Chain A
């Protein structure tokens, strides 16, 4: 008994030492790019109060040169929660980056308790091509199915996920908000995916003055789900459609995110508009309406419209103008996602209805794979 105690006394300082060396310090490569310091690892504890800009050295390309991810840290004068804002996990989602920039611009480190980290355009390879997935020489990968990643994984995307997760995100985050939009060809409403079974997530999501929330446990491999599995509250925000700045939707998410920072007392101030004022529609079910034919779509409803079961929502015509399909909603709910492209291939998603109901095919988040997130 005594012997065990002695061993512990010897081991404990040694373990603490090992832990502190194992714990990531901020690692500067000594390089600068366009005047910004390059880091391979971030430890917020190392940074003085103030605003810091870095390039995080991501995965290598085929030639051996790296993809660098712009990272901005605003560290407050007082200790507090560390909030991570990520945008551009998909490369065609541009409103997401602008909302994060607006939040960062509103921060004053002297008045802050805690820190906010912004990672802009995490999926560099796809941002440069304004496309959802990460193009490699032989294939394409969805970065938001690759988390927590693996630095020794079998494609560059999963390795990049492993680097940003283990060297940047996971060690520095108490609360994580992942900003998205719908992909090329379609649009979301102002919408959030979240696991409302987690009380802290529920509180956070209620601080956004937006139209719709879908409650589900999330898809494996998304950044949100990976954080939630690690015990860190997180949500996936969807700021409308791809490619553009949506000036109506961006401010709603900027306001909501500032509300979250106020809620956690990272910044001072009165909470603004929330889901209460926005009368947010919260539901568990997604009903995807998929094209049965190829052809041209004539939409009968728009985003956020309320629809009832049996309602005609879209008519599809062939090149001769003849009707080839009429799409009806099988549920009563609200339009959450809509196809923007006029032409659709068979199997493509015409629209998605967010709904609640006893006939729900996938109650409380046991839905089949949802590609939108």
Chain B
């Protein structure tokens, strides 16, 4: 009987293993290699050897000629089971600190000492990254710039950008990820400090945000189509991290991002390292309202406040002049709060962001709807 049982087990186990691996998405290698990196069209972290960093080019959406955009992906597979953390950079192509952060996290990572896995996406909006633009230039409808962070979780048969998001979400992210951080900066002409857009619907997302050394957390309802909202909707705790301004590598911002990732890995016991500085240590402002002060006039704008400065209701934040030097508008803070976003370009068109103030109001305790530019 015992022998029979053993025999049965021996017979059944391979069959079961086969079934489960077939049911799960297996890593699909296209057979192509580019610049020495294997091309994959689908990822299953379970397939990968532990204790190593694996580097791939993920086959994204096709361009007009039929050639593909390939997205660099790194996976640090730990030696023990544990949480699987996703770090995304370059959903907006003009945001470089996120790319620097993910690169630095992986350069300092020893996969032989971690549990679980870290998946890094380096520059997901390839045409945006190549042209240092926030939008993805789509060739239909008179060459429109599509905001990739309004296309998640993607549409399989949608436009180019929606399809790219769908491929990343369904062939790379889902099934491989327990926690996600989508890393951003301000766009061209806009600076953030150390800030987050955190979805109030997901309590773990707030905890996750607080593990980064942030000065401000904006607890909101999430922006439809953003990657972090799509991850939260898929049951994956996630938030949008903002690390300063666009285009350049800001060492302090990158170090803050790397520190926060380390803290996340400490919190989830992915590595054995002490917790570093967190948002709580920095006396973070957690606000439920982001008051955007858009330009009421066009003209040349001088700001009197800096990122993270505390301001009071009635305080003069900036002044706008026309070409003749005449004052055309003064920007007065309507609330007490903290400067979250500033427009860095001196020329401000009517309707663009001049200053945004993070504050708390009673009317939306769980975070207001935000229709600004996450």
Contact = CB atoms under 8 A, between A and B. Distances in A.
B69 to A, nearest CB: 9
Contacts of A52: none
A32 B64 contact: no
Interface string A127-142: 1111000010100000
Q: Which of B34, B57, B68, B70 has the most CB of A within 10 A?
A: B34
Nearest to B70: A65
A34 B68 contact: yes
B139 to A, nearest CB: 6
A65 B64 contact: no
A60 to B, nearest CB: 9
B19 interface: no
Contact of A31 (B33, B72, B130, B137): B33
Contacts of A30: 33
A33 interface: yes
Interface in B48-83: 57, 63-68, 70, 72
B282 interface: no
- Majority DSSP secondary structure for residues of B touching A: mixed
Contacts of B34: 31, 33, 38, 65-66
Contacts of B70: 65
Contacts of A63: 72, 123, 126, 129-130
A66 B57 CA distance: 13
A285 interface: no
A199 interface: no
A64 B139 CA distance: 24
A39 to B, nearest CB: 14
Interface residues of A, number: 23
A61 B72 CA distance: 14
Interface string A45-73: 00000000000000001111110101000
A129 B130 contact: no
B64 A127 contact: yes
Given A62-B129, A137-B131, A68 B35 contact: no
Contact of A33 (B32, B139, B143): B32
B31 interface: yes
Nearest to A60: B35
B31 A129 contact: no
Contacts of B132: 62, 137
A62 B72 CA distance: 13
Contact of A35 (B32, B65, B126, B127): B32
A34 B67 contact: yes
Given A33-B34, A34-B68, A128-B139, 13 more contacts: A31-B35, A33-B39, A34-B32, A34-B66, A34-B67, A35-B31, A62-B132, A63-B72, A65-B34, A65-B70, A128-B65, A128-B127, A137-B131
15 contacts: A31-B35, A32-B31, A33-B34, A34-B67, A38-B34, A62-B129, A63-B72, A63-B126, A63-B129, A65-B57, A66-B35, A128-B64, A128-B65, A130-B143, A137-B132
